[in-house]
Amino acid sequence: MEIEEITYKINGCAMKVHNTLGNGFQEVIYQRCLAIELSKAGLTFGREIEQTIFYEDIEVGKRRADFIVENIVVVEVKAVINLENVHLAQAKNYVVAYKFPIGLLINFGSTSLQFKKVYNNNLKYT
């Protein structure tokens, strides 16, 4: 499956969750519902997969992205009124630090679903 098809399916799953629940729930509720929809869509994923962060080849800590989908897309879920630059920076940092080609930042907290694609400029994707 190509990366654009994967991100399209993820966005469709997120839209289904947002259309069903609306906004106003905690992030963890949206994560659980998105996991259900990703499974129904036939996508393989891991949730809260711990990733090691390196600085100059030295381990400096660990972080958990909300989802790793098809071993190629990092998905970060938010439930805030509006996405801010800090959220975008976090998603971008995850994509680069985890060495994935692309990530999705999805916000369920707004009255309309918000999502942004972030790219790792150090990697090519197809």
* Structural domains of the chain, ranges and CATH numbers in brackets: 3-119 (3.90.320.10)
Q: How many CB atoms are closer than 10 A to CB 83?
A: 18
Q: What is the DSSP letter of 123?
A: S
Q: What integer pLDDT is reported at residue 1 of this predicted model?
A: 81
With a CB cutoff of 8 Å and minimum separation 6, the contacts of 8 are: none
pLDDT per position in the chain (126 positions), as tens? 899 999 999 999 999 999 999 999 999 999 999 999 999 999 999 999 888 888 898 999 998 989 999 999 999 999 999 999 999 999 998 898 888 999 999 999 999 999 999 999 887 655
Percent of the chain that is helix, strand, coil (3-state, to 5):
35, 35, 30
Query: Which string of DSSP letters, residue by residue, matches 66-89?
Result: EEEETTTEEEEEE--SS--HHHHH
Q: What integer pLDDT is reported at residue 103 of this predicted model?
A: 96
Residues facing 50 on adjacent strands: 64
Q: What integer pLDDT is reported at residue 5 of this predicted model?
A: 96
Q: What is the pTM of this model?
A: 0.90
Q: Report how far residue 13's alpha carbon sits from residue 33's, in angstroms, rounded to the nearest whole number.
A: 9
Q: At what angle do helices 3-21 and 27-40 cross, to 10 degrees?
A: 130
Whether residue 126 contacts residue 2, with contact meaning beta carbons closer than 8 Å, is answered with: yes
